Amino acid sequence: MGNTAGVRRDFQALEQRRLRGARLLGNGVPQSEVARQVEVHRQSVSRWAQQLEVAGLSSLRKAGAPDANLASVGKTGRRSSVG
């Protein structure tokens, strides 16, 4: 599962696909039809619908850049001391 080695995901396109799905869901299009139109699995659309209901449209937007501080966390879950 996942991407082929060396293939980078287009996060902007993924977000646009989720938002397009949200618009279709908001217009009353059935989940199975939304899945066909945006070319994703129906379970993904079901997950989007749940997120929309609980947290609104902002829940389908991209999360943003990962926290740079996470890079300094080692396997123990603690920050490594530099010095």
Per residue in 29-71, pLDDT (tens digit) is: 999 999 999 999 999 999 999 999 999 999 999 765 555 444 4
Task: Find tokens 């389908």 and name the residue.
Answer: 60
Q: Is 63 helix (H, G, I), strand (E, B) or coil?
A: coil
Encoded tokens for 77: 């879950």
Alpha carbon separation from 13 to 20, 33, 70 (Å, rounded): 10, 20, 26
Average pLDDT over residues 7-16: 90
Domain ranges of the chain: 11-63
Report the b/e string of 24-52 with b at 16+ CB within 10 A. bbeeebebeebbeebebeeebbeebeebb
